[in-house]
Amino acid sequence: MHLEGIAVGGLAFLIIGLFHPIVIKAEYYFSKRIWPVFLVFGILFLGGSVWATGSVLSSALGVLGFTCLWSILELFEQEERVKKGWFPKNPKRK
């Protein structure tokens, strides 16, 4: 029996779930200008995925890398959600 697929599915679920509040907090404290950090980490994780020896580790790094890249889009969309009043605006930021 192979449990790698279940492990990767569970890791993907956890990673994507963790990135929702990360994107919200990142936009709140740093605005969308933090997107290059997500780009750098996305590239690093994808590079690590290419060089990882285990299939579960490689898959987890790949999911993490693409989640970082997808978070760039989410940062820009989060800014729009804040403008619509769906999420609080940071009062300390102009």
Q: Tell whether 89 is covered by a domain.
A: no
Q: What is the pTM of this model?
A: 0.90
25 inside domain: yes
55-83 vs 35-51: helix crossing angle, rounded to 10: 170
Q: Is residue 22 part of a domain?
A: yes
Crossing angle (nearest 10°) for helices 4-30 and 55-83: 30
- pLDDT band per the 50, 70, 90 thresholds, residue 50: very high
Q: CA-CA distance, 63 to 89, in Å (whole number)?
A: 30
Domain of 12 in residue numbering reads as: 4-83
How many structural domains does the chain have?
1
**53 occurs within a structural domain:** yes
92 belongs to a structural domain: no
pLDDT of residue 84: 95
